[in-house]
Structure 1
Amino acid sequence: MPDVVDVVLRCVLVLAVFMVLPLVIGQMEHKAMAHMQSRVGPMAAGGFHGWAQLLADGVKFVQKESITPVAADRRVFELAPAVALAPYLVALLAIPLGPFFGQGNLIGQDLDLGLFFVLAAMSVGVLGTLMGGLGSGNKYSYIGGMRVAAQLMSYELPMVLAAASVAMAAGTLSLVGIAQQWEPWWLITQLPGLIVFFVAGLAELQRPPFDAPLADAELVMGPLTEYGGMRFAMFLLAEYAGILVLSALTTVLFLGGWAGPFSDHIGWLWTLVKVMAVAFLVIWARVAYPRLREDQVNSLAWKVLVPVALAQITLTTVLVVA
């Protein structure tokens, strides 16, 4: 019975994190972009600092009707938002938050293959957007779906190679083990891998400047063109959940996870601080860089990121053997 209670408590904790932190990241994006671009709207809703903007968006989505186009594949079209969202909840089960006041590591389940488990779950999340594009019965959505597929195939390889470099250095595929084996000098030796992993993660999430599948000037809204109401809201939540998973995985692999002063007691706090810092960089990239053309997106992956990731693995191999 205690084991059952422990499993239930861990699942509840992971679900609470999944339901809260993506919304916090969404609110942070509203405020950060409002400051960077001098937007008035997101700073006005509800009065002080626009605190009710997120609530207003939620009410707007609830009020809108979700319509299934006649030409759409109904089952695929309606299932796509859930497929886009659910894998990120599954991925969070294997990502450690850190020690909590000496009571052990906060994690849903420590898996021996935790790194590959999380990377696989993130790939499945991208398939939800692909399903939305192919199942909408809309030519703009179809083109957007094809671009999603191209980005997934292009950027999955450098992302996995960069993560594999860290696993080689740590000698384990367990995310808890990688965080425990982390050394400060990895910030230098694994820096190219960090950049490759972060950029590839942005591309897999279709975040600017890699949002060619959603290019509003060309494709209306790409795979999401025919979606409205709560289905569209689920895709947005999936995007912020993806940012959370990418930020958390980057933190554990490259930034030491819960490493910091008094990490045995407040390690979870250091993890959250680092996750929010990485999430802010994701938001900053949206404001700072223009959208890449589709040919530039794929050229960057195969001509730059893959060679750099292979060079990173070579360097890690030399350091491990030496």
Structure 2
Amino acid sequence: MTRAELLADDPLWLILVKAVALLLIGMLMTLFMIVLERKVVGRMQHRPGPNRVGPGGWLQSLADGLKLPFKEQVIPDTADRKVYFLAPILSTIPAFLALSVIPFGPEVSIFGERTVLQLVDLPVGVLVILACSSIGVYGIVLAGWASGSPYPLLGGLRSAAQVISYEIAMGLSLVAVILYTGSMSTGDIVDAQAGGWYFYLLIPSFVIYMVSMVGETNRAPFDLPEAESELVGGFHTEYSSMKFALFFLAEYVNMVMVSAFCTTLFLGGYMAPWPLSAINDNMFNTGWWPMLWWLGKTLIFLFLFIWLRGTLPRLRYDQFMRLGWKVLVPANLVWIVLVVALRAFRNEAEISAGTILTAGGIVLVVLIGLSFLLPERSVPDDEDRVPVTGGGYPIPPLDLVVPDRAQLAKPARQRRKRQTASVGAAEKETDQ
């Protein structure tokens, strides 16, 4: 039986078990990731991190999760209450829904029922994940608008522009994968990588997706909606108690979702790595073993999020937008055209995939080299322009002379004398 037929025969109780398992995966991974991030970043900064609650401090996030529902709820008087309450829910639910089309493993037996470790396998599973990640930004935008405060509104607007920009790059990075697979089903994409994982067959798509998924989840160095140095706390400045916890939950579940999606697209999903996959007639690719490989690959990408946060500074907004619109999107378009041309040429000439990939790599290197060798646009010397720093911010002229305190005080004394003289003249006219 095919994957779709096995899932169609699932009884109701098995569907409920899978749904509850997805909720537990999202919540438990969130609790684990919060503590892991604090410990890893603390290690990078030569400090212990959480070490009080539970063995080694590993129950710290559980204690925080139990504390938040009992915190006081502070709601601004200017808030739109209906939208204010709806926004965190709208951010959290799509993140869990996207996990429903992720394949966690092959065919297994659960209480005697043959099924696949996946809740649903849709012919357009890739589009479902993109749609869920796009809907999640509505919760952020509505949270900023409904709070009735300028700082959350600025954070929400930044997030909208950010997600739109990197959603395009992320969607384009999937085109090459869909062309190679011939399907938008996540299960078919995993099965198509039995002969080779796409992370080395489609290296440009893999790199662009990794950059896009960091921008999509508003994580450092792209955490502009929550830029503490500029916007206090970002779009959730006015949120507290359980509603704030939902935003936190949505952020980490989104991290798990994009990491699992990247594993599905480029790392063979639940398939065992090469040395193990060739042992004893694919023993490690059957049963419950593949779920362990899926979890390990997903944790690699989750560690990448933490690593970036502990090493890279936050980008400026213009740098962030320039990277998305002027680098990732054009590179994606060129790569898609190249993939389509090479596949068409391969089908006609029957050339091996290695030869095509080598030729494609040479073409990309030549294009990148030409981009560096092209001369810059010449600017006339007599053109009026403001001297700027490296990022485009104007600076004062270098020959600016600041007057001393005595020179600054002289006009003030002259102004007071003129005022005193005018008042005296007005009094004399009144007396007369």
TM-score range with shorter-chain normalisation?
A: over 0.9
Equivalent AA in structure 1 for residue 88 of structure 2: P
TM-score, normalised to structure 2, is 0.71
Q: Secondary structure at the match of 1:98?
A: coil
Q: Give the aligned partner of residue 270 of structure 1.
A: 293
- Report which of the two has the higher share of helix: 1
One-letter amino acid of the structure 2 residue matched with residue 57 of structure 1: D
AA matched with 1:94: V
Is residue 151–residue 298 contact of structure 1 (8 Å, CA) maintained in 2? yes
Match in the other structure for 1:106: 117
Name which of 90, 94, 112 aligns with 1:87.
94
Higher relative contact order (CA 8 A, sep 6+): 1
* Bigger Rg over Cα: 2
Alignment gaps of 5+ in structure 2? 1-8, 278-283, 347-432
1:47 Cα deviation from its structure 2 partner: 5.7
- Partners of 2:64 and 2:17 lie apart in 1 by 31
Identity %: 39
- Cα drift, residue 315 of structure 1: 2.9
2:72 to 52, 65, 68: 65
Query: Among residues 150, 153, 161, which one is paired with 1:150 in the alignment?
Result: 161
Most deviating of 186-195 and 109-118:
186-195
The CA deviation at 1:2 is 6.1
Question: Aligned residue pairs: how many?
Answer: 321
| Residue aligning to 2:249 | 237
Alpha carbons 1:77, 1:136 under 8 Å: kept: yes
Range that drifts further, 171-180 or 192-201:
192-201
Output one character per residue of 1:204-225: Cα deviation in whole Å (capped at 9) or x when no partner. 2110101111111110011011
Residue of 27, 30, 35 corresponding to 2:35: 27
TM-score under structure 1 normalisation?
Answer: 0.94
What secondary structure sits across from 1:69 in the alignment? coil
Q: Are residues 1:76 and 2:83 paired? A: yes
SS at match of 2:101: coil
Tell me how far apart the structure 1 counterparts of residues 332 and 129 of structure 2 sit (CA, whole Å).
Answer: 19
Q: Report the equivalent of 2:46.
A: 38
Task: Say which of 219, 222, 225 aligns to 2:234.
Answer: 222
Which residues in structure 2 correspond to 1:192-211 (within 5 Å)?
Answer: 192-211=204-223
Aligned-residue offset at 1:104: 4.5
Segments of structure 1 that go 5 or more residues without pairing to the other structure are: none
Aligned to 2:150: 139
What secondary structure sits across from 2:119 in the alignment?
A: coil
Q: Secondary structure at the match of 1:246?
A: helix
In structure 1, what is the equivalent of residue 134 of structure 2? 123
Asked whether the 8 Å contact 1:88–1:241 carries over to 2, the reply is yes
Contact 2:162/2:215 (CA < 8 Å) preserved in 1?
Answer: yes
Say if 2:57 is the partner of 1:55: no
**1:160 maps to amino acid:** G
How much has 1:300 moved relative to structure 2? 0.6
1:253-268 to structure 2, matched below 5 A, reads 253-260=265-272, 261=277, 262-265=284-287, 266-268=289-291
Amino acid at match of 2:320: V
Q: Look up the SS of the partner of 1:172 in the other structure.
A: coil
Q: Is the 8 A contact 2:39 2:49 kept in 1?
A: no
SS of structure 2 residue aligned to 1:290: coil
Read off the aligned partner of 2:219 and give its amino acid letter. Answer: R
d(CA) in 1 for partners of 2:138, 2:336: 28
What CA deviation, in whole Å up to 9, does each residue of 1:5-43 have, x standing for no partner? 33222222222222222222222212211211223341x
Distance 1:231 1:39 in 2: 30
Tell me, yes or no, if the aligned pair for 2:155 and 2:225 is still in contact at 8 Å.
yes
1-side partners of 2:129 and 2:76: how far apart? 34
| CA-atom RMSD in angstroms | 1.7
SS in 1 for 2:269: coil
Bigger mean CA deviation after superposition, 78-87 or 52-61: 52-61
Q: Letter of the aligned partner of 2:66 in structure 1?
A: V
The Cα of 1:175 is off from its aligned counterpart by 0.2
Q: Aligned match of 1:12 in 20, 24, 32? A: 20
State the one-letter code of the partner of 1:149: A
Shift of 1:101: 5.2
Counterpart secondary structure, 2:219: coil
Q: Which amino acid counterpart does residue 15 of structure 1 have in structure 2?
A: L
Q: Are residues 174 and 47 of structure 1, via their aligned partners in 2, closer, same or farther at CA, if it must alter by over 3 Å?
A: closer
**Equivalent-residue separation in structure 2 for 1:220 and 1:105 (angstroms):** 46
1:185/1:91 CA distance change after superposition, 3 Å: closer
Contact 1:100 / 1:268 at 8 angstroms: preserved in 2? Answer: no
Aligned equivalents of 1:121, 1:255: Cα separation in 2:
22
Are residues 33 and 317 of structure 1, via their aligned partners in 2, closer, same or farther at CA, if it must alter by over 3 Å? same
Answer yes or no: is 1:189 the counterpart of 2:196. no
Q: Which residue type is aligned with residue 283 of structure 1?
A: I
